[in-house]
Chains A and B, each alone.
Chain A
Amino acid sequence: MTSAPPAGPGVVKTAPGPAAPPSTPPGRRDVRRALTRALPLSPAVVLLVLFLAGPIAYCAYIAFTDLQLTGQAESSFIGFDNFKAAFKDDAFLNAVWLTLVFTVLSSLIGQNTLGLTLAVLMQRASKPVRTVTGGIVIAAWVLPEVVAGFLLYAFFRREGTLNAVLDWLHLPSQNWLFTLPILAVSFANVWRGTAFSMLVYSAALNEIPKEITEAAEVDGAGGWRRMWHITLPMIRRSIGTNLMLNTLQTLSVFGLIWVMTRGGPGNRSQTLPLFMYEQAFQKSMIGYGTAVALLLLVVGSLFSLVYMRLLRTEV
């Protein structure tokens, strides 16, 4: 720690001017200084390379093999066969479809719209109501995933609370986890995830200057028009980032669905993560399961890149 006293930031900033003499090759001192400075990064980099980049690279490799849970040694390279098999596999296509339904219903429509609605209402509501509602919605978000799964399992079961409420309202009740399992788990994800959108949108709405909305109000613009022409355009960046993060979170939901339905009945709520798990462990086809995982990872990466573009001014 005694080597190379860190120079003040001013020294680093001075780039060679346009008329700089032919620059001497960076001296050994500079290299040593750069290395000393980068040293604190090394524990993080080692961890990330070994336990994050490593598995991703390994994932890209075994997706092209026929590795099985039994007989580890005998895996061989089979090219794109896993992917070809996947797109002919009805169970896989079913999982893709259900993942799409789950994501659109619970993330794009549910969490996002409900979160925005709650944030807008909170701007106008009285303080006690705001505090109580915020507390309840956030409590649902803070609970561990598995606990949320159990609470909603109880809620949607035939003998559960939802049917009791429907009976009380003289509406038809049914066995939700059997008749509409994907709808039930989507609602569960809305219950669990809306707080995040609500917090993002509340923060965004608070940053809109009061004068702007008040001016529009005095000019006689109604609530919907103010929302459409003023509020939404002003928070569009928050909408973008929130949609991306919600979607990424929803794509990787496993525990919630596992606890509520195990992907069933049959495979009627089996989204891609559950399908991947079943192929890899219950059917012992690690290679095939990983191919599905790689597809999920690629889709996630695309969303992640879009998210970064939305944030690009931040770095």
Chain B
Amino acid sequence: MPGSTTLATRRNSRRYAADAGLLFVAAAFVLPLAWVLLSSVDPKADLLVKVPDGVTLDNFDAVLKPDITFTPLLNSLILCGGATLLTVVCAALAAYPLSRFRSRLNRPFLLTILFATSLPITAIMVPVYALFVQVDLIDTMQGTIFFFAASQLPFAIWLMKNFMDGVPKELEEAAWTDGASSFQSLLRIVLPLMGPGVAVVTVFSFVMMWGNFFVPFMLLLTPDQMPASVSINDFFGNRGTVVYGQLAAFSIIYSTPVVLLYVLVARRLGGGFALGGAVKG
């Protein structure tokens, strides 16, 4: 008995220590986040985390204009939406034979895909730029969409194949005997059954592209075509002195979609949703 009580008190004191440690880290991590939230409603925002001198929505008013917010966000949406659609369609199609049919080529193909998932895409941007100049795809939305999709595709195929492996084959066999083609059974049976998996691949691809700065920064030149990840830099330089309140307000507007998407998917599938398929250690 005395043994168990000391164990219990030891556990309690350990819990307080753990709580204290976590709260310390949380306090350090929250400061930059607090800056962006507080500055966005502060009429006299600067670089410091502080209680605003009164709450105002002027910063949001000032940035909610076509050239500052709406056009870049629309560009982001066209780029990332188009590329995500392309990625998900190609990945679903590719995952089907990899998951369903045995072939000598599956293993080498999957190994190549896995290898490509972790290549540093940053490194190939200079040659991609040079190549796009040669084939006249530089500064075009479609060129950037194609490259975005290709760069996200290895991981999307990998995830999609893992999710598809979770759908039992028996369900399809009935459809096959009824004379359905592979394509019909993929569309009518497999994909509906792996809805959460498709959602994860879609959200993950979209979030990665929405936040990507380097790809559009390199491949697009015309300011009118720039997505929000690049146009946000205009708050420095192009507009004279930096209005930090407006920068903070714009950062919030630009970040909101990905934060919402993350919360939506994470709530349905548990935290670290995309990791299950990706890095089973």
Contact = CB atoms under 8 A, between A and B. Distances in A.
Contact of A307 (B103, B118, B173, B247): B118
Contact of B183 (A40, A55, A240): A40
Interface stretch (B22-30, B61-69, B191-199): B22-30
B47 A157 contact: yes
B70 interface: no
Given A126-B19, A315-B111, A134 B271 contact: yes
B133 A52 contact: no
A81 interface: no
A251 B120 contact: yes
Given A8-B176, A51-B147, A144-B254, A161 B122 contact: no
A154 to B, nearest CB: 5
Contact of B102 (A12, A154, A202): A12
Interface in A105-159: 114, 117-118, 121-126, 129-130, 132-134, 136-140, 142-148, 150-152, 154-155, 157, 159
A125 B244 CA distance: 37
A72 interface: yes
Contacts, number: 312
B107 A44 contact: no
A101 interface: no
Given A72-B133, A244-B118, A252-B122, A44 B153 contact: yes
B258 A146 contact: no
A56 B131 CA distance: 10
Interface stretch (A17-25, A90-98, A293-301): A293-301
Nearest to B98: A41
Nearest to A3: B181
Interface string A273-315: 1001100100000100110011011001101110110110011
Interface of B: 7, 11, 14-15, 17-19, 21-23, 25-26, 29-33, 35-36, 39, 46-49, 86, 89-91, 93-94, 96-98, 100-103, 105, 107, 109-111, 114-116, 118-131, 133-134, 146-147, 149-151, 153-154, 157, 169, 173, 176, 179, 181-184, 186, 207, 210-214, 217, 229, 232-233, 244, 247, 251, 254-255, 258-259, 262, 271-272, 275-276, 279-281
12 contacts: A43-B89, A55-B127, A133-B22, A134-B271, A145-B211, A147-B251, A200-B281, A242-B281, A244-B118, A286-B126, A300-B119, A315-B107
